[in-house]
A and B are shown apart, each in its own frame.
Chain A
Amino acid sequence: MLDCFFNPKSVAVIGASNNTDKGGYHIIKNITAGFRGKIYPVNKSYSEILGLPCYPDLASIPGNIDLAIYFIPAKELPETVNECAKKGVKGIIIESGGFNEAGAEGERLQKLALENAAKAGIRLWGPNCMGFIDAHRTHVFSFIYSGIWTDVLKAGNVGLIVQSGMLSAGFLLHALQEGIMGVSKVCSIGNKCDIDESDILEYMINDNETEVIACYLESLVDGRRFINLAKKTKKPVIVLMGGRSKEGAKAAQSHTASLSGNYRVTSGAFRQAGIIEVFDPAELTDMARAFSKKMLCHPQKGTAILTFSGGAGTVTTDLMEDCGLPLASLSDKTLASIAELFPPWNKPDHPLDLWIAIERNGYEEVFKRSFDAVMNDPAVDSILFHSYATPLIEPEFFEELAALVRKHEKPIVFWVVGRKEFCDNLRFLAETAGIPAYRELGRCVTVLKGIKRHFTKKPIDKSDN
């Protein structure tokens, strides 16, 4: 149903520009970078933009158009919708602001445009948004500055639905640079006068390229529809809800004209539907990145902590208890097998502080054997792994760990601390192998909680595989 946006054959850009400082230039620049269909810049002031013939108006374009991108002042929209109707346009992405978020006149324009579009059967996306990016097709239908995405955009399995322009851009850049995570589609939906979060959610649920769905929302147009969609899909749905507080709700209203509902009801509805709720943008990307690794979990048991530091193990245990994650009761067999790595005068206890063993037997030997022991312990459903930064670890080490994660269906979340370049390298190796890695202990615990919560509400069904 949203194919006119995601798979158009031709795109007109109303408000295209030759001026490299203008968003109208970057829209054309972005589209030409990856879109293989017909591109029609529209602007009276130019005859050509980036080598493409520029048309003074829609009527002058030869043939029909599937999709129009609107980037001129708000007051022209209602009439432009009618002109689009004459050219067979099926969808319009309105990236300009000045509508419901801007007072009475803006509201009038948005309403009128919507009425005109409904008459012509045209779907409207936005207004007051940054359009979308489809990383698999390199469709960048957005005024996002063209210099910042080309070198970092990576196709992957995370779909983003974001009710904020800059946040979607910032979120995207953060997500793409922070660890190994690729995106399928990044959709900025703005005021969502027609296309709303549930429409995109439904599309992403049915989209084979999207396996994880992460959202920043300031309101729900139809809460019941949204949670019913989320409940039915096995794909993880992660939501950061803006406007939880009284003052935050006011901010959301001036930002995207959103009327936040009763947050406590929303939050309960999310839990009911198995939606993972997060509370800041970095947590949203971190959670999405963890799920993008597709680690499986059977979450009825406890978590094993493998660390090199008694302190880190203690703090992690505290953080786990804060959020209700149980520490695994390791079996005597597991402890006995790890004890073989210890000197006779010291015995391992849980959390497993392995430092003494590492001093005697070396990092890889100790962690490999310890992982093997806890992975085979039926009391363990997941593992938090702490490491100090070291340049001596080979990629194979993390590949073996990732293989254990897949074999036992027990996720590992990785924390590393120490000298920055070594940390970055270890995180890169872990992430590349498929193990999510973070700089904060608290984030590791939060992410693990999200994973366990997801598989509690949506257990692995063997028939899914």
Chain B
Amino acid sequence: MLEIIQRAVANGQKTLSEYESSLVIKSAGVEVAPAALARTRDEAFQMAEKLGYPVVMKGCSAELAHKTEAGMVKLNVGNSDEVVHVFDELMSKIKGLDGVLIQKMVKGSREFVIGLSRDPQFGPCVMFGLGGIFTEALKDVTFRVAPLSKEDALEMIDEIKTKKILGEFRGSPAVDREALAKALVGVGELGMKYDSIAEIDINPLIISGNKPVAVDALVVLR
């Protein structure tokens, strides 16, 4: 992981690409949506076939901060013809992409966020809260100072006002709290371990079945 970060710092990158970011958080124990980076049309096809449809395709580059707004995210790509078509479209839209991220489409109606920030008084801090479209309006988030113990993480999970949706909710099973706690502890460790990481934003973290799965992640460098 150190290499990815060191290389990015050496290149003067302000952020890691989504793909690099996902590798970093995966190394810390956060489950990420299965994905691979396709550099050619052929790779895109093979990877999508391997992951199984539908897939999500995203233009991938460290320069690309607002992918959705730039029209660089295509959800629900359903077959090989579409994959090839979307690949060409994304690659031609913005020059200099690292490639196209082919990601398994993760389904789930419960979305959360995990963040890492550096507080001037406390240093690296982990945030956990409600994700999705109401994140801004409800501001249902809570913080802990890194490093986190497992108990700290479990306490965070119990602290948000919308914690009810972490239980059995409208036919979905209760969330795997151990996995969620592991992700929170892991993100805190990244903050302790890598000085060059300024922020991490995992949003959304979708509950797929009972597992929290990161489907988008951004690592901001100092």
Instruction: Find B144's partner among A220, A224, A262, A269 (CB 8 Å cutoff).
Output: A269
Instruction: Find B121's partner among A223, A264, A267 (CB 8 Å cutoff).
Output: A223
CB within 8 Å for A266 and B141 given contacts A271-B155, A272-B152: no
A265 contacts partner chain B, Cβ-Cβ < 8 Å = yes
Expressed in whole angstroms, the Cα–Cα distance for A194 and B152 within the complex equals 32
Question: B144 near A272 (CB under 8 angstroms)?
Answer: yes
B145 contacts partner chain A, Cβ-Cβ < 8 Å = yes
CB within 8 Å for A268 and B125 given contacts A224-B145, A227-B145: yes
**8 Å CB contacts to A: which residues of B119-144?**
119-123, 125, 141-144
B189 contacts partner chain A, Cβ-Cβ < 8 Å = no
Expressed in whole angstroms, the Cα–Cα distance for A224 and B122 within the complex equals 5
Question: B121 near A272 (CB under 8 angstroms)?
Answer: no
Expressed in whole angstroms, the Cα–Cα distance for A272 and B147 within the complex equals 11
Rounded to whole Å, the gap between the CB of A137 and the closest CB of chain B is: 33
Q: Which residue of A lies closest to B149 (CB)?
A: A272
A8 contacts partner chain B, Cβ-Cβ < 8 Å = no
CB within 8 Å for A222 and B121 given contacts A271-B155, A272-B152: yes
**8 Å CB contacts to A: which residues of B149-166?**
152, 155-156, 159
Expressed in whole angstroms, the Cα–Cα distance for A442 and B159 within the complex equals 21
Expressed in whole angstroms, the Cα–Cα distance for A223 and B117 within the complex equals 15
CB-CB under 8 A from B145, the residues of chain A are 223-224, 227, 265, 268-269, 272
CB-CB under 8 A from A267, the residues of chain B are 143
Question: B159 near A265 (CB under 8 angstroms)?
Answer: no
Rounded to whole Å, the gap between the CB of B164 and the closest CB of chain A is: 13
Question: A224 near B121 (CB under 8 angstroms)?
Answer: yes
A261 contacts partner chain B, Cβ-Cβ < 8 Å = yes
Expressed in whole angstroms, the Cα–Cα distance for A272 and B117 within the complex equals 17
Question: A261 near B143 (CB under 8 angstroms)?
Answer: no
Instruction: Find B143's partner among A220, A222, A224, A264 (CB 8 Å cutoff).
Output: A264
Question: A262 near B119 (CB under 8 angstroms)?
Answer: yes
CB-CB under 8 A from B122, the residues of chain A are 223-224, 227, 261, 265-266, 269
Rounded to whole Å, the gap between the CB of A198 and the closest CB of chain B is: 11
CB-CB under 8 A from A272, the residues of chain B are 144-145, 148, 152, 155
Expressed in whole angstroms, the Cα–Cα distance for A377 and B173 within the complex equals 35
Question: A224 near B155 (CB under 8 angstroms)?
Answer: no
CB within 8 Å for A265 and B119 given contacts A227-B145, A272-B144: yes
Expressed in whole angstroms, the Cα–Cα distance for A267 and B123 within the complex equals 14
Expressed in whole angstroms, the Cα–Cα distance for A271 and B117 within the complex equals 18
Question: B120 near A261 (CB under 8 angstroms)?
Answer: yes
Rounded to whole Å, the gap between the CB of B34 and the closest CB of chain A is: 32
Expressed in whole angstroms, the Cα–Cα distance for A266 and B120 within the complex equals 11
Expressed in whole angstroms, the Cα–Cα distance for A271 and B141 within the complex equals 14
Rounded to whole Å, the gap between the CB of A275 and the closest CB of chain B is: 12
Q: Which residue of A lies closest to B141 (CB)?
A: A264
Question: A265 near B123 (CB under 8 angstroms)?
Answer: no
CB-CB under 8 A from A224, the residues of chain B are 121-123, 145
Q: A268-B125, A269-B122 are in contact. List 16 more A-B contacts (CB 8 A).
A: A223-B145, A261-B119, A261-B121, A262-B143, A264-B141, A264-B143, A265-B119, A265-B145, A268-B143, A268-B156, A269-B143, A269-B144, A269-B145, A272-B144, A272-B152, A272-B155
Those 9 A-B pairs whose CB atoms lie nearest each other, nearest first: A223-B121, A268-B143, A223-B122, A261-B121, A265-B143, A269-B145, A265-B119, A272-B144, A220-B121
